[in-house]
Structure 1
Amino acid sequence: MPNGATFQNHPTLPIAIVGGGLGGLALAIGLLKHHVNVHIYEAAPAFSQIGAGVTFGYNSTRALGLIDERLLEGYRKHATFNEDPEGYNTFMSFRWGMDEQREGGKMAGDMMFNLDDKWDSEAARSIGVRTRSCIHRARLLEEMVALLPPDIATFSKSFESVLEHADGTLELRFTDGTTALACAAIGCDGVRSKMRDIICGPGADATYVGEYAYRAMVPAAEVEGVLGREYARNGQLYCGYGSYIVTYPVEDYAFTNMVAVHHEPITSPYSWKESDWTVPATSDEFAKHFEGWHGPLKELVKNNCQPLKWALFNIRHSRPYYKGKLSLLGDSAHAATPHLGAGAGMAMEDAYLLANLISAVHSADAIESAFRAYDAVRRPRTQKVVEYSRLAGLACDFMLPEYDDNVEKLRDRFEEWYQWIWHEDLPEELEAAKKLL
């Protein structure tokens, strides 16, 4: 088939996207751009997002524009950046969250270092963003939904299993007893993915990493009154012995999102004993876990945190992200802890690569080759992000033995991680994958 030929779906059946979160919607937008017939099956009664702010680095925002320029335009409408002009290229200001544990050491609140894009400071500016940008998940979801036709999704459909018929047709089965037919299916159903169970089998389960998070969305005026404008309107990461707190502005500086992460004492293996991953918690419990912390910051979180704590899990494995006409995208394949702010960005990168590869094979009959090429290039990168994110959490908590609370070593390590994350050449990655088709 000549270059530029359009993808030919099955005459009547769409590609099914199981899950209508940010990753699933980004993939749908990318496939529709290539005139691919898709349909989304979402377990919730409507498109919705759990959580507040999501952080994007340059690689993530670039992926949005590569998927569809309109998606990047929508993102820019709601993105909040570091306000300080001197922080244009700063991703995060690292600070001491507790007093340094040595005589004459730094005090809680003191600066450790700025994490800057020292390698290509103009990259983000060239697409109308800054090194660090944040958006409320609900705003990004709204912009994505606006780019989709109204009949693209069926709601209240919780995926249960899939059956492949002799002619290659897939029959999706849902927990309410209904079914749907598709020519291929992509699981975008998150960290507890049922599709992953089918594709990867045992050994690719979500694993508790020994950490849980407290969350607070604090009016910016309150933060400014306690910490000052610089702290409310620019991203900060406070490191401590066994815990850390990250804060950053969202919703055009109206609020400061605060996430406090506590690490349990190291035992092997970690075990989360609750049936739910989100469990009730009290402000007194938070205060106990952050004893000795920077007083004003601690009180802000304590007075505003939700009465819950979120256990943190990741998915580290070496299993392929596809099986026949089934594939995985985003958290369903490679959920990472949030310590590098890269999880959502990896889903956007996935969506760009996968939409283009599906289009490149020109027909649903050949879609397995697209899934195979996608797996070959995406699995190594995304699994590294899972591992680097785990290590970054330990680094923020001064729990990496070779680094401890050595500021210079920590700065160098974080710079290595972020240079690798931010400056991946996604079009080059796509070309490498196309050579495998």
Structure 2
Amino acid sequence: MSSAKTNGVSQRNESYLPIAIVGGGLGGLALAVGLLKQGVKIHIYEAAHVFSEIGAGVAFGPNATRALGLIDERLLEGYKEYATFNDDRERDATFMCLRWGMDEQREEGKKAGELIAYLEDKWNPDSAKSIGVRTRSCIHRARLLDVLVSLIPEGVTSFAKSFKSAEEQSDGTLKLNFADGSTAMASAMIGCDGIKSKTREIVCGPEVEASYVGEYAFRAVVPRAEAEKALGADLARNGQLYCGYGAYIVTYPIEHGDFTNMVAIPHERGESWTWEQEDWTVPSTKHDFVRQFEGWFPPLVDLIQKYCQPYTWALFNVEHTSPYYKGRVCLLGDSAHAATPHMGAGAGMAMEDAYILSNILSHFIASRRNLEDIETAFQAYDAVRRSRTQKLVENSRKSGLLIDFIMTGVNDDAHAMVEQLENLYKWLWHEDLEAQLEYAKSFIPALDRIFD
């Protein structure tokens, strides 16, 4: 079998068409980094004219930072260079400080701003420390994108390529069609094209689509001095989650503490919701925010009002039971399992996907020496990732109900809320990804001889 080198790594499938990665966001680039490290020939097709990310901060828990290092140690090191942590070193194992966002609706109840509990890693607090991070870390999306792009060599990306469709050829390879009329050939395709994925329709059919969850977000990025002046250093420099009746507000430092990212998310009343607008990001006003958060912790509301962006972002998720692959097409990240942000785990789950899929594909190619039945590798990936990632969609929704005090049977019982949240985060943080990969490999018997 012929081979070539990219970034000094031998490409084991050089004699075949590349594996196409549709979408150059965080998940797609993490997968590309993992595949390139393993010597797999790839090509990235990105709809935009440059790599870019929307949004400010993204949170990573211990599972997510471990995945970065497993994909490529250089990725973890780059991440650590830009990551922001809780300023208080006594809170190294704390993911969030849970607080009352408004007065407790009980006689002589707690007041807005008061502490409920510390949501922390009580099961393995040294898990994050062992790789040089802390239980909670945050990074500006643009900085993480920069780290990923720095690990992508020239010549493997095509920009301004909005994916339209794919056609299977007589030999099983794929012809990719783009909106500009151009085409490309690939041995297989992985859709990393986000929550509005066009690849998902190929794999799952049109009936599996993103669903509005009855929530939307107001966002603000506040300079450090202003946040400290209004809230005090402790609240400004450490992650806080303000719980309330029908809404919550999360705040945390980014850019090494130079700014505090703030996101306020109200939950619509009732059990059935629809989003009528074509766009998911719609114009909004400071008045809209204040109206939704009347009665909340005054210094926090005043601060967000001052810096509130003039838009709201509707929240959707992708919940289903369909396989994440069909033939030579596979899904990764939000295209397969977009979740609400209530556990700060969406990007981290895509990093887990990237680690598992990049290694499965590499091992598959090493054993099979051809890509004719690559569906076997995708089947192994689906077998270990679908249940966990769809569980995150469910758990993220539960988390939102808990911190909004609208979970049936819990409501504003703070003790019960914390207990259930801890169960959700224990499940999230301490998955053994390397064991998951070994289990996935068991679905490809031909791999056994390589690792004997």
Which runs of structure 2 are paired with 1:28-427 in the superposition (5 Å)?
28-268=32-272, 270-362=273-365, 363-427=370-434
Deviations 1:176-196 (A, max 9, x none): 111000000000000000000
The code of the aligned residue for 1:230 comes to D
Instruction: Please report the TM-score for the alignment, with normalisation by the length of structure 1.
Output: 0.98
Q: Which runs of 5+ in 2 are unaligned?
A: 2-9, 445-452
Alignment partners' CA distance in 1, 2:216 and 2:286:
14
Alignment partners' CA distance in 2, 1:85 and 1:74:
22
Describe the SS at the equivalent of 1:50. coil
Deviation at 1:7, TM superposition (A): 7.0
Alignment partners' CA distance in 1, 2:281 and 2:93:
35
Describe the SS at the equivalent of 1:405. coil
Alignment partners' CA distance in 1, 2:334 and 2:296:
32
Kept in 2, the 8 Å contact 1:10–1:364? The answer is no
Q: Name the count of aligned residue pairs.
A: 433
Alignment partners' CA distance in 2, 1:86 and 1:295:
27
The code of the aligned residue for 2:284 comes to A
Deviation at 1:12, TM superposition (A): 4.6
Kept in 2, the 8 Å contact 1:203–1:317? The answer is no
Kept in 2, the 8 Å contact 1:220–1:253? The answer is yes
Alignment partners' CA distance in 2, 1:47 and 1:391:
33
Q: What does residue 5 of structure 2 align with?
A: none
Q: Aligned Cα RMSD in Å? A: 1.2
Deviations 1:96-130 (A, max 9, x none): 00000010000000000000100001110000000
Alignment partners' CA distance in 2, 1:393 and 1:150:
41
Identity of aligned residues (%): 61
Q: Which runs of 5+ in 1 are unaligned?
A: none
The code of the aligned residue for 2:277 comes to E
Alignment partners' CA distance in 1, 2:231 and 2:179:
49
Deviation at 1:366, TM superposition (A): 3.0
Describe the SS at the equivalent of 1:365. coil
Deviation at 1:294, TM superposition (A): 0.6
Describe the SS at the equivalent of 1:364. coil
Deviation at 1:394, TM superposition (A): 1.1
Alignment partners' CA distance in 1, 2:382 and 2:72:
22
Kept in 2, the 8 Å contact 1:44–1:157? The answer is yes
Moved more, 384-393 or 356-365: 356-365
| Structure 1 outlier segments of 4+, above 3 Å | none
Kept in 1, the 8 Å contact 2:11–2:41? The answer is no
Kept in 2, the 8 Å contact 1:7–1:359? The answer is no
Kept in 1, the 8 Å contact 2:341–2:396? The answer is yes
The code of the aligned residue for 1:422 comes to W
Kept in 2, the 8 Å contact 1:208–1:312? The answer is yes
The code of the aligned residue for 2:192 comes to C
Deviation at 1:401, TM superposition (A): 1.6
Instruction: Please report the TM-score for the alignment, with normalisation by the length of structure 2.
Output: 0.94
